[in-house]
Structure 1
Amino acid sequence: MSALLREERAGRLRTAMERAGMDLLVVTGNAWRSDYLRFVLDITPMEGQAVAFFSGAGVRLLVDTPAEAERLAAEQPGLHVEWTHELLPRARRELDAADPTRTGLAPAPSTPSLLAGSAVGSSMLRTTAMLDGLMVRKSAAEADAVERAVELADAGYEVFRAAARVGRQEFELVGELEAWLRAQGCPENFMIMGSGGKEVRTMRPPGERRLAPGDLVTTELTPCVDGYYAQICRTLVLGPPTREQLDAYAVFVEALEAGIAAVRPGATHGDVARAQNDVFRRHGLGEYVTSKYTRVRGHGMGLYVDGPHVLEDVDLVLEPDMTLVVHPNTYHPVAGYIVLGDTVRVTDTGCRVLTRTPRALRGPAAGPA
């Protein structure tokens, strides 16, 4: 990531802290959940826990292994990094010494309990909300980074299509794609998939199942470029699609188009979800937009999954340069689980669809036998 983008984010963070009456911000993270640390310091832990202290006096990072301290100091020479075997007790002592009325701690979902139990722990919900607001309301430069990730997602899906051949095991598809992504310099990719027919009700990590003629093969592909993620959701069919598959898929295309049409400044996540769900209801499929069969109708895209999900009861208001994926992914009683989703960027008057991959129910790309 560029130093200019890093400094831009730091400036927005300082402004938000000043408005919140906050002198010190303490942010925790690990290899599993690092998006808040990436926003604050542009660092991603590879092992163990990390705790960042961000204030007007400077920025410090505590980690719990010397290897992590060495790696992160090399990545950012200007960052003050220390390691200690007693990371959490030391961080707790620093929190106990801080003014709880002028200190914020985040993120609420994953901060270790020893730190959450401090007096500063009462600030976690509002501090996390402050950071969520900064992360979901992107600068133009951040939205540009998401656009670059979309380009890789489109290209990566074509690699996935070429790998999807009858007789291959699911993990072989994902292994081939991951090798290609790493060769493009992509260090991270979140991905789940599914294969089969009417019996398939969701997506999951790849297994040993061999692809069979007539299968629907689904994937949710989410590569990371310059720290920012973008997502594409698509379904392909192994062989000529049946009339039932085509009819079912047409409902998903209609729902996706309705959801994208609802994306504009002033609209809410709830509006986008409702537009998609109403299409299923009109086709007599309202049962399949409930939590029994589906999770969400999309979500923000950025340093991770930004902010609240796209659901009918979510009132997050869309603003220009917000980026999100719209995806009416759910089970269809005739065809099985189908996914279809595009990443979009909110504009001054509506939105721009960033994903370029066709929405048609296609078969595998031409590839070696």
Structure 2
Amino acid sequence: MTDTPDRGFPESEFADRTAKAQTAMAGAGLAGLLLTTEAEVRYFSGFHTLFWQSPTRPWFLFVPASGKPVAIIPEIGADLMRRTWVDDIRTWSAPAPRDDGIGLLTDLLAPFARSGAAIGLMKGHETHLRMPLADFERLSAALPGLRMADATDLVRGLRIVKSDAEIAKIRHICGIGSRSFAEVPEVARAGMPLEEVFRAFRRAALALGADDVPYLVGGADRGGYHDVISPPSRRPLAKGDVLMLDTGATWDGYFCDFDRNWAIGTADDASRRAYDVLWRATEAGIAAARPGATCRDLFHRMQTVISELDAAGGDVGRLGHGLGMQLTEWPSHAAWDETVIEENMVLTIEPSLSYGDGRIMVHEENIVVRAGGAELLTERAAPDLPVI
């Protein structure tokens, strides 16, 4: 077991992230970034709370072209924000439907509007506004001279390459996830309802040190499973089932995201074959994950192996993605994604295929890309379908 990393980050981590953003802003002609979503606010401030689960209150962080970020947040978050490196914290008593921070935002941004400056917002794929559209329209109307540009690529370019401290946190939760999966054969058995397997896995992960297991999906059925996102049923596991669990456990705000497959009692030839193809497809994806390759390259390398069994090449849209503060992050291993792989990207390698009578199988590992190639963060799955 590796040493547990420190929680949080030193102030220098946030200063470095902000400085890189400001360099990119200068190149893009932006006077600042207006951030409204949890991951982006946390990335630049260190403000880490589960209170984002409540949709009642909006939260804002403004990263100027020079200087430290400015927080415009509900008063309930002021004490926690004061523990971060942010000094300028402006609050209101929320919820306040008539003015939920819009007045404070208007005051902050008015000088930029008067000068006709541009600020960046996240507008692109895999982003959302996380404030009422009516409030955004009010803000825009109050600042007619302000230009609002898409800063998705700018922020994406920062977040997809992880710092050493971020990688240490992801490595730690991947280790917890690996040890949790290792306990499944000691718990799961024929006759056990699938929902009880889920509960047992969550208990194991928490006992081993995970902060939370907000994402746990999977399936089990005779000779395979048919989808991987349904809630678990009370159907008991039976001999001949193939069981899959896919976890997104967290530690200090960072995710692991990988799965494991097992046969219950015995494995049929079709499932063994599917597992073998997926294991080798995963190997191909891991081998291809080197600086200078593209996500499209990884997709095609995995798809070539998958096509040995699945004529569609296992194309469910993508065969893996980025990983970090969110369960799924940019980029995507997909035919359309030409993102160039860089050192210190953390990625999932996630081939899948269809086989038999409507059955599917998915396999997934987590890696960090190093100068010489991929380094596993998860404990590699067995090369043959394990039988419980």
TM-score class, shorter: 0.7 to 0.9
- 1:178-237: per-residue Cα shift (whole Å, max 9, x none)? 233334152454221111135732212333332222211112212222322222221111
User: Match of 2:350?
Assistant: 327
Does structure 1 conserve the Cα–Cα contact (< 8 Å) formed by 2:310 and 2:354? no
Does structure 2 conserve the Cα–Cα contact (< 8 Å) formed by 1:256 and 1:327? yes
- 2:91 is the counterpart of 1:82: yes
Distance 1:139 1:199, change over 3 A: closer
Does structure 1 conserve the Cα–Cα contact (< 8 Å) formed by 2:224 and 2:361? no
Judge which range, 100-109 or 295-304, deviates more.
100-109
The answer for unaligned runs of 5 or more in structure 1 is 365-369
Higher relative contact order (CA 8 A, sep 6+): 1
Q: 2:62 aligns with which of 38, 47, 53?
A: 53
Q: 2:378 aligns with which of 348, 355, 358?
A: 355
User: Match of 1:138?
Assistant: 162
Instruction: Give the SS at the match of 1:287.
Output: coil
Q: 1:9 aligns with which of 9, 17, 24?
A: 17
2:253 and 2:123 mapped to 1: Cα distance?
18
Does structure 2 conserve the Cα–Cα contact (< 8 Å) formed by 1:258 and 1:276? yes
User: Match of 2:219?
Assistant: 194
User: Match of 1:229?
Assistant: 255
Amino acid paired to 2:39: D
Does structure 1 conserve the Cα–Cα contact (< 8 Å) formed by 2:34 and 2:119? yes
Cα displacement (A) at 1:266: 0.8
Does structure 1 conserve the Cα–Cα contact (< 8 Å) formed by 2:223 and 2:267? no
Q: 1:298 aligns with which of 320, 330, 339?
A: 320
- 1:46-66: per-residue Cα shift (whole Å, max 9, x none)? 1232111222354332334x4
1:81 and 1:162 mapped to 2: Cα distance?
52
User: Match of 2:5?
Assistant: none
- 2:118 is the counterpart of 1:102: yes
- 1:55-105: per-residue Cα shift (whole Å, max 9, x none)? 2354332334x44444x2365385525233232533663476233633112
2:353 and 2:135 mapped to 1: Cα distance?
39
Instruction: Give the SS at the match of 1:103.
Output: strand
- 2:18 is the counterpart of 1:40: no
Does structure 2 conserve the Cα–Cα contact (< 8 Å) formed by 1:197 and 1:335? no
So what's the TM-score if we normalise by structure 2?
0.81
Does structure 1 conserve the Cα–Cα contact (< 8 Å) formed by 2:45 and 2:86? no
- 2:190 is the counterpart of 1:166: yes
Does structure 1 conserve the Cα–Cα contact (< 8 Å) formed by 2:162 and 2:345? yes
1:74 and 1:159 mapped to 2: Cα distance?
41
User: Match of 1:272?
Assistant: 298
User: Match of 1:217?
Assistant: 243
Judge which range, 245-254 or 99-108, deviates more.
99-108
Aligned residues: 353
User: Match of 1:63?
Assistant: 73
